[in-house]
Structure 1
Amino acid sequence: MSNLPLSGTRLWEALMEMARIGATPKGGCNRQALTALDGEGRALLARWGEQVGLRLTTDRLGNMALLRPGHDPSRRPVAIGSHLDTQPTGGKFDGVLGVLAGLELMRALHEAGTETEAPIVLINWTNEEGARFSPPMMGSGAAMGAFTEAEVLDIRDPEGTRFGDALAAIGWRGEADPADLRDLEAYFELHIEQGPILEREGLDVGIVTHALAQQWFDVIVTGEESHAGGAMSHRRDALVAAAILVQGIEAIAHECGGDARGTVGRIAIEPSSRNVVPSRATFSVDFRNGDEAALDRMAEALRERARAVAAERGVEVEVTPFWSFPQTGFDPALAQRLRDAAIARNLRFRDMPTGIGHDAVYVARQVPSVMIFTPCLGGISHNEAESITPAQAEAGMLVLADAVLATAGFAKG
């Protein structure tokens, strides 16, 4: 495999060219799902795929599959995938590295004129980020049966635009059945770590063995509007009650310990006037844990704190489940192929979980799947300052390519 003309330079140039689409003043990317810029990024990937003979199929949710046929037509495709969409203030590498590393493998195979036994397919999943349309990972989730196609197409963004209408508007709603993407032999996803562990330990790659379980909630605190000049003693301030709960969510994660995570990422108040005591506060809660029983205890602790705050502050608190998925293990045999590839390349690695949702987490429900992490500077991601080095990108790409080729096999003769 080492004689295949895989090029870290060509991969880096592709990353930088894609980054120009939706480039932000601070050096990041704003290429949110189903925007015109997302459409431009998709079109660039399609052109690159066409140049090396890949056959593009797009399904009814916009998932792009670029196929390189194999020698054995009875073999199911070995897949490489990730996403091109970004956060509003996203970086150049989150998701994009995994797609373009897969493209680099396709380019190298084309340049060498090498045929694999199994077909190889490169997938760009729709709306992994969930920034504009929520929840995240809709394209992979619906393809793997976690959501119905109809419910995804009908989801609205904060401005009321329907997912299906936005997809049609950018010209990327295809005709294929998303469920066709379940018919894969294996699935590989390369991603930046979005955490500091690999960098801190001086490692080249991480072999991702499993994904933590997650539970998300919406919380609504209802109090009473009153004049800001009124007495403090009779207030039912929804925002103050919400602030107490937000602190409690951080405390719940610390009290649980281990790999527990607790985050409030969105909060809004009404009526949002300078001289009116807020009557309503709504916020999101994101809990994660590698122990599902402990995750359930975190959720119950949230409900207990909500009841206590409601009684103490004279408000009403409603806690509603929004989204969840269980702890997900990745395929041990595929993980071993990644370890073997790292060893053969003299790269430093470790096994590790991911506390972050990725398309691979949904794909793993239907297809043997695995993930590879590369380090990122300071663990920073979902941020315009997100950064990796060309050498880090190349190391991840080489391990990905070797493991994919070990799975697909080279045609004989």
Structure 2
Amino acid sequence: MGTARHNLRVDGARLWSTLMETAAFGGTPAGGINRLTLSLEDGQVRDWFRNACEAAGLTVGTDELGTQFALRPGRDMSRRPIATGSHLDTQPTGGRFDGILGTLAGLEMVRTLNDAGIETEAPILLVNWTNEEGSRYAPATMASAAHVGTFTVADILARADADGTTVAEALARLGIVATEPTGSRAIGAFVELHIEQGPILEAEQKTIGVVEGGQGIIWFDGTVTGFESHAGTTPMPRRRDALTGLAEVALAVERIAHAHGPSAVATMGEAVIGAPSRNVIPGRVRFTLDVRDPHAATLDAIDTDLRAALAEIAARRNLAITLDAVWRQEPVPFDPRLVALVERGAESLGLPHRRMVSGASHDACNLALRVPTAMIFVPCKDGISHNESESATQADCTAGADLLLQTVLTLASSPAAP
């Protein structure tokens, strides 16, 4: 690749303007975005994205789950394309950068290549994955998971939101019609740009996180069952209080996560009392638990320790406690060659960087099961994400987009497939 290509940079002001323009779709008074997947607002940004891609000369297709694929031709159309992208859906109180940066930086990369008149050997593919967030439909990252065969299309189409609307019904309401089967789009390599969603890069004054992989995750559903009885007439020693039992469970979760530190984390994100009443001792509480660590053996050890602790609490308090693993994602290593390529790119651009593991799950973690994959992180203010106050600087977004451009351009311009 010539010096001119090495010196190529994105238009940071144009990228920033695009980020702010699309933030209007589902924009909230607090400056965030409420753009749940396959909502009206998601449909609006999807239409905008299609039009912007077609204006940039890309051919846009849609799979059975609504994922958008925008293809820029290469000289050798027999080669699998080098893909980039992320997602455009958000949390109910989401920010302007989570996923959106990676998708729109890919668009800016294409615009920059067009402006410079650069044709690559391999095609370039820009992707907007459906339902990365998982806030309306479970599981998260469902479309990329179906793309690699982890879930069937029929399974995902039948998933319903809290109002009972299925994915299939939501797609139909938006008029989204598939032009290709899910999983049929070939990908040679995948590179995703994303905000870190954590505090490390900002704290260490690094511009780039070179992501080596994603940590493993186990999701649990649990119940604590005691016995409902009168709040005023039941003596304390005779109570079988499910809520105070849950309090012990929560503290046990925290203790076990600390014991497997420093990388392990555990979060009890939901707790619901069955038939709550002010003057009734809770007899049943449902809860969820999210456990994460970069090592499968640590996840197994945490699982074992949790079950032992919950059994002890149940026996001592005369309760029944269940803990069911409803989803597990194994730790995912990214392709060492692509990780090294990202690192060399950061060095050549003079960007302060460090290697790291992603604490959050991303579409890239699914793609890594089938194709060479890497991720690039840039800082977000105070490490805050999934929040309307989520923020990143124009300079950092531009730097990440420049590194994405150089990485994809190197892969797509090489004489042989990666």
TM-score range, shorter chain: over 0.9
**Secondary structure, aligned partner of 1:42:** helix
Q: Distance in 1 between matches of 2:96 and 2:162?
A: 25
Alignment counterpart, residue 237 of structure 1, candidates 229, 241, 245? 241
Contact between 2:9 and 2:402, CA under 8 Å: does it hold in 1?
A: no
- Say whether residues 1:223 and 2:213 are aligned partners: no
Q: Distance in 1 between matches of 2:213 and 2:8?
A: 30
- Say whether residues 1:14 and 2:22 are aligned partners: no
The farther-off stretch of 105-114 and 92-101 is 105-114
1:7-406 → structure 2 map (5 Å cutoff)? 7-181=11-185, 183-231=186-234, 232-406=236-410
Q: Distance in 1 between matches of 2:244 and 2:172?
A: 43
Q: What percentage of residue pairs aligned between the two structures are identical?
A: 46
CA apart distance, 1:2: 4.7
Contact between 1:198 and 1:374, CA under 8 Å: does it hold in 2?
A: yes
**Secondary structure, aligned partner of 1:180:** coil
CA apart distance, 1:233: 3.0
> Residue type of the partner of 1:372?
I
1:75-98, CA deviations, whole angstroms, 9 ceiling, x for partnerless residues? 111000211111111111000000
> Residue type of the partner of 2:225?
T
> Residue type of the partner of 2:205?
G
Q: Distance in 1 between matches of 2:132 and 2:199?
A: 22
CA apart distance, 1:5: 5.7
TM-score (norm 2): 0.95
> Residue type of the partner of 1:356?
A
> Residue type of the partner of 1:101?
A
Stretches of structure 1 that go unaligned for 5 or more consecutive residues are: none
TM-score (norm 1): 0.96
Q: Distance in 1 between matches of 2:22 and 2:279?
A: 47
CA apart distance, 1:315: 1.6
Contact between 1:5 and 1:111, CA under 8 Å: does it hold in 2?
A: no
User: How many aligned residue pairs are there?
Assistant: 410
**Secondary structure, aligned partner of 1:206:** strand
Q: Distance in 1 between matches of 2:81 and 2:160?
A: 33
Q: Distance in 2 between matches of 1:170 and 1:330?
A: 35
Stretches of structure 2 that go unaligned for 5 or more consecutive residues are: none
**Secondary structure, aligned partner of 1:352:** strand
CA apart distance, 1:258: 2.5
Q: Distance in 2 between matches of 1:122 and 1:383?
A: 26
CA apart distance, 1:313: 1.8
The farther-off stretch of 190-199 and 171-180 is 171-180
The farther-off stretch of 220-229 and 11-20 is 220-229
> Residue type of the partner of 2:222?
V
- RMSD over equivalenced CA pairs, Å: 1.4
Q: Distance in 1 between matches of 2:67 and 2:57?
A: 19
Q: Distance in 2 between matches of 1:297 and 1:96?
A: 36
**Secondary structure, aligned partner of 1:324:** strand
**Runs (4+) of structure 1 moved beyond 6 Å?**
none
Distance 1:215 1:410, change over 3 A: closer
Distance 1:21 1:94, change over 3 A: same
Contact between 2:137 and 2:159, CA under 8 Å: does it hold in 1?
A: yes
1:92-151, CA deviations, whole angstroms, 9 ceiling, x for partnerless residues? 100000000000011112222321110001001111111111121101001111111111
Contact between 1:115 and 1:410, CA under 8 Å: does it hold in 2?
A: no
Q: Distance in 1 between matches of 2:172 and 2:283?
A: 39
CA apart distance, 1:260: 0.6
Q: Distance in 2 between matches of 1:171 and 1:269?
A: 39
Distance 1:410 1:334, change over 3 A: closer
1:196-246, CA deviations, whole angstroms, 9 ceiling, x for partnerless residues? 111111111010011111111101112222222232333222121112111
